[in-house]
Structure 1
Amino acid sequence: MVYMMNKNKINKYLPLSLAIMFSGYTSVSIAGDQVEISAISAFNKGTAISKGFDQFVASINEDKNAPVRIRYVGGPEAMPPFQIGNAIKNGVVDMILSTGAFYSNVMPAADSLKLTRYSPQELRAAGKWSQLQQIWKEEMNVHLLAYTNYGNEFHLYTNKPLTSANLEGQRLRITPIYRAFFEELGASVMQTTPGEVYTALERGVVDGYGWTMQGVFDLGWQEQTKYRVDPGFYQADVTVMVNERTWSSKLTKEQRDYLTQKALWLESLNDNNAAISQNERKLQQDAGIQTLTLEGNEKERYLKVAYDAAWRELLDNDEETTKRIKEIID
């Protein structure tokens, strides 16, 4: 109870404190019809999950005729990932790159996008993306611009071998992405930022963690990892969002159209993820990470629990919004 009271106080004053800290980060006109907008990422620049966004920013800033420039403020070193949702909702920053898990404290149903059965292109072609944009506008005060990292599945990585879909005795580092899933299978869980995972593994505080196929090498986790469990589950739900006031009031139609075209280009990079993940498998094998493959009934149970537990938790947290999203993506 004491923790929750303190957390509520923090959330109450967080928008004001962020506004003071980052007051110079909102959009400004810099030359003629060109506008500069600020951007913060929940991921370190140059890491696997951030690479597409890094290219997106570079392609815009290197375009001399672009009506928009992006001022990249930084990653987690500039703002803790779990504060990024408040920052974009309150207009402290113009644009962010984040997974829904990092702003589920602001929009509990955001984490449901990981459960999508459709690629970004399929979502757009079926008119589903515009439906999601409306929900994110209502709940987060943002324009949902792009969906990147699709095709980069999550896996369980552990230092304790297993032969069934039973995680009893496993102490796992989690984010909200797979908390319900791992708990349902019996694991003990603890939440940390990515920057704390290596030390937690090294000191034996945790036995393993959930992460995407891509990115294990970014922070040296392969040095402390013995096994990867197959099959993978969920999709990386990493999106680019723009504060709604910035999008609708500070950008012209030409600037919005330009960013939308760049967003489509960014989403096209998702097509490379199958090959990238295949190469990542080889790199992990070469680094000594062994594959533990669940098959037959154990595989079916593992995946069923993954999706059932996730939807159940999301519905418990925000039934109305989760139902709206589930009708669109499931």
Structure 2
Amino acid sequence: MKRERMLLWVVVALGLAYAYVMAPSPARAQGSGPITLNFVSFAPAANVVEFQHIKKELFDRVNQLAKGKLVINVKGGPEVIPPFNLGAAVKNGTIDMACIPNAFFEDLVPGVGVTHLSSFTAVEERKNGVFEALGEIYKKAGMFYLGRGQATEHGYFMMFLNKPVEKQSDFKGLRLGGSTSFHGQFKELGGVASTLQTTEYNTAMERGQVDGLTSSVYIATAYGLQSVTKYVILPGFWRSSVALPVNLAKWNKIPSDLRKLMISEMAAYEAKFAPYELEQRNLFIKRFTDAGVKLINLSPDAARWFVTASTEGAWKYAQERQPGDIIPKMRQLLTKK
């Protein structure tokens, strides 16, 4: 009897030991599946340059190099989360990361609403301390700044009008719409500013609610402005304002090797995007001219005034919206000496 009991205890002890050895530790269990980062863009999925390109050239590449340890899950565009809600969605963890124009969430990250006015390329910003300085600002808002979702050269934004302009006085009184990033420009040019969601652009132009608006040629194309616009004004101005923030709590849970991979691939993507975008910009402008839209190339004097007024107006408006020293500090940070 005693021998049977002893044998029973040995079997139980061996069973418990086996279970202990074979059971995954908490850390192992947590890492048994891939880390998933859910991504949403402000741009529609049909937008080749602003949606499809980053998915193919950055996210798909990261997924491949991560070898199943990390997956960036592209959920979609504005149909998933309205663009003006993306910043809050990243901050509170509703989604993990997003491409967002700076004006759409500047209230959450004070100062970033002027990054499109930077004198530096994205490559230069990673070398001269601008990238790190922006990163600190994002961290205070509960986000990690991965980089510029669209690292463009100057001239990225353009004005689309239904009234012709040639000189400074022609801009006075124009009803101009767009995000708050452009309100300072509109006012400095002598126009009347109104806020429009990108999804409202086509209807506002078609119904004559505005005389024109400022946008990238890609967003303009995605929302069919070539069918409701008469003129495109050149030169263009500023860089893209799109940033790629990640929820900070989620970012901190990613193993360091995968964080390094994402940062490295983001920097490489920024360097490749600028020449690609310039080529695409010209092709998309041709879509407008092919549709019968007229290009208005301002004279050198008018062009100089137009770009300067647009930029100064943007800085002034930013200061009005965010009194204090944050905007002067940002101007010093983003301006070549």
Query: TM class, shorter-chain normalised?
Result: 0.7 to 0.9
How far off its partner does 1:169 sit?
3.4
| 1:88-119 Cα distance to aligned partner (Å, 9 max, x none) | 22222211111101112323422110100111
| CA contact 2:198–2:219 (8 Å) conserved in 1 | no
- Please tell me whether residue 184 in structure 1 is matched to residue 188 in structure 2: yes
Structure 1 unpaired stretches of 5+: 1-28
For these two proteins, the number of residue pairs brought into alignment is 300
| Cα RMSD for the two superposed structures | 2.0
* Residue 260 of structure 1, CA deviation: 1.0
Residue in structure 2 matching 1:195, options 180, 195, 199: 199
Higher helix share: 2
The corresponding residue for 1:117 is: 119
Q: 2:321 aligns with which of 294, 314, 317?
A: 317
Q: How does 1:149-298 map to 2 (within 5 A)?
A: 149=150, 150-151=152-153, 153-166=156-169, 167-248=171-252, 250-267=253-270, 268-298=272-302
Q: Say which of 114, 128, 131 aligns to 2:130.
A: 128
Residue 53 of structure 1 aligns with which residue?
54
Alignment partner for residue 312 of structure 2, among 308, 313, 330? 308
Larger Rg: 2
Give the secondary structure class of the aligned counterpart of 1:117.
coil
Cα-to-partner distance string for 1:162-201 (whole Å, 9 max, x where unaligned): 1113422322221112111112222122212111111111
Structure 2 residues without counterparts, runs of 5 or longer? 1-28
Match of 1:326 in 2: 331
- 1:79 Cα deviation after fit: 1.3
Cα offsets for 1:183-240 (capped at 9, x unmatched): 2222122212111111111212122111113332212110011101111111112111
The amino acid of 1:67's aligned partner reads K
- Residue 296 of structure 1 and its aligned partner are, at CA, apart by 3.2
Amino acid at match of 2:139: K
Cα displacement string for residues 4-31 of structure 1 (whole angstroms, at most 9, x for unaligned residues) = xxxxxxxxxxxxxxxxxxxxxxxxx986
1:14-29 paired onto structure 2 within 5 Å: none
Counterpart Cα distance in 2 of 1:143 and 1:233: 28
Give how far 1:61 is off.
3.5
Opposite residue 155 of structure 1, the aligned amino acid is: M
Return the alpha-carbon distance in structure 2 between the equivalents of residues 170 and 245 of structure 1: 45
Check the 8 A contact 1:108/1:314 in 2, yes or no: no
Q: Deviations over 1:32-80 (max 9, x none)?
A: 3631111121221231322332222233335571531012232211111
Q: Which amino acid aligns with 1:40?
A: V
Task: Determine the C-alpha separation between the residues in 1 that align with 2:316 and 2:208.
Answer: 31
* TM-score calculated relative to the size of structure 2: 0.83
CA contact under 8 A between 2:173 and 2:190: conserved in structure 1?
A: yes
What whole-Å deviation, never above 9, does each CA across 1:250-295 have from its counterpart, x for those lacking one? 1110121121122123212222122111222322221211111222
